[in-house]
Structure 1
Amino acid sequence: MVSNPQEAHLAPSDSSHSVPQVNAETPVNAPGPIAIDSFTDDTNSEFDDEASDLTSLSSSVLEYEYENGRRYCSTRSGVAMMPNDEEEQDRMDITHHIWLMLLGGELYNAPIGSNPQNILDLGTGTGIWAMDMAEKFPNAHVIGNDVSPIQPNWVAPNIEFIVDDFELEWPFEPNHFDFIHARCLAGCVASWPGFISRIFDHVKPGGYFESHESAVWAWSDDGSLKEDSALMEWQQAINYAGEKIGRDLNIYYKLKDWMIAAGFVDVQVSVYVLPFSPWPRDPHLKALGRYQAVQLQQAIDSYALRLFTQVLGWSSEVAQIHNAKVKHELRDKRLHAYVQTVAVHGRKPFYAC
Structure 2
Amino acid sequence: MADDHVGVEPKFSLEHQVEGVSPEQMPQLEAQQLAASPTAPDLQTVTGEEEHEEHDESNGSTHGASSSSVGLSIDSDDSDATSSLGDVNVASSSVSATSSVFEFVEKYGRTFHRYKDGKYYLPNDEQEQSRLDLQHALASRLLEGNLYLAPVNRPSRVLDIGTGTGIWAIEFAEKHPESEVLGTDLSPIQPGYVPPNCHFEIDDAEDDWVYSYKFDYIHGRYICPFLADIPKLLGMIYDNLNPGGYVEIMETLMLMKAVDDSLKDHPLQTWNTMMVEGIRKIGKDPLSAVHLKKWMEEAGFVNVTEKKFSVPANPWAKGSEQKIRGMMMMNNLLEVAQGITTKIFTEVHGWSREEVEVFLVDIRAGLKDRKLHGYVPVLCVWGQKPLPT
**2:65 equivalent to 1:27:** no
Q: Is the 8 A contact 2:313 2:374 kept in 1?
A: yes
SS at 2:226 equivalent:
coil
Instruction: Spell out, residue by residue over 1:283-319, the C-alpha distance to the aligned partner (whole angstroms, 9 max, x if none).
Output: 2211211211111111222432211222222222222
Moved over 6 A (4+): 18-21, 56-61
Q: What letter matches 1:269 in structure 2?
A: E
Q: How does 1:106-255 map to 2 (within 5 A)?
A: 106-113=146-153, 115-173=154-212, 176-226=214-264, 228-255=265-292
After superposition, where does 1:269-348 map in structure 2 within 5 Å? 269-348=306-385
- Work out the CA distance in 2 between the residues paired with 1:80 and 1:151: 16
Does the 8 Å CA contact 1:122/1:144 hold for their aligned counterparts? Answer: yes
Name stretches of at least 5 consecutive residues in structure 2 with no aligned partner. 1-29, 45-52, 55-68
Residue pair 1:252, 1:341 contacting (<8 A) in 2 also: no
Q: 1:57 to 1:67 in 2, by over 3 A?
A: farther
Across the aligned residues of Structure 1 and Structure 2, the Cα RMSD in angstroms comes to: 2.6
CA contact (8 A) 2:160 2:220 kept: yes
* Aligned length in residues: 330
Once the two structures are overlaid, the 10-residue window that deviates more, 343-352 or 269-278, is 343-352
What CA distance in whole angstroms lies between the structure 2 residues aligned with 1:324 and 1:76? 32
Letter in 2 for 1:328: A
1:72 aligns with 2:135: no
- Matched residues in 2 for 1:343 and 1:281: separation? 24
How far apart are 1:170 and its partner, in Å?
2.2
Distance 1:344 1:43, change over 3 A: closer
Partners of 1:33 and 1:221 within 8 A in 2: no
Amino acid at match of 1:117: S
Q: Which whole-Å CA distance do the structure 2 matches of 1:313 and 1:231 have between them?
A: 19
Equivalences for 1:256-271 in 2 at 5 Å? 256-271=293-308
**TM-score between both structures, scaled by the size of structure 2:** 0.79
What secondary structure sits across from 2:40 in the alignment? Answer: coil
Structure 1 259/20 Cα, relative in aligned 2: closer, same or farther at 3 Å? farther
Between 31-40 and 154-163, the greater mean CA deviation after superposition: 31-40
Letter in 2 for 1:238: M
Q: Could you state the TM-score of these two structures normalised by the residue count of structure 1?
A: 0.87
Secondary structure in 1 aligned to 2:184? Answer: strand
Alpha-carbon distance, 1:339 to partner: 1.2
Letter of the structure 2 residue corresponding to residue 281 of structure 1: K
Tell me if structure 1 keeps the 8 A contact 2:97–2:188.
no
Counterpart Cα distance in 1 of 2:350 and 2:384: 43
% identity of equivalent residues:
35
Tell me what 1:105 maps to: 145
Q: Structure 1 residues 18-27 or 98-107, which shifts more?
A: 18-27
Matched letter for residue 101 of structure 1: R
What's the counterpart of residue 5 of structure 1? Answer: none
Question: Helix, strand or coil: the match of 1:129?
Answer: helix
Looking at structure 1, the residues matched to 70 and 280 of structure 2 have their Cα atoms a distance apart, in angstroms, of 30
Range with bigger deviation, 155-164 or 75-84? 75-84
2:7 aligned residue: none
Q: Is the 8 A contact 1:274 1:285 kept in 2?
A: yes
- CA gap of 1:142–1:43, structure 2 versus 1, over 3 A, is closer
| Preserved contact between residue 20 and residue 240 of structure 1 (Cα < 8 Å) | no
SS, match of residue 182 in structure 1: strand
Distance 1:74 1:206 in 2: 37
CA distance in 1, matches of 2:134, 2:186: 20
Q: Please state how far the C-alpha of 1:151 moved relative to its aligned partner.
A: 0.1
Distance 2:328 2:167 in 1: 17
CA distance in 2, matches of 1:86, 1:158: 25
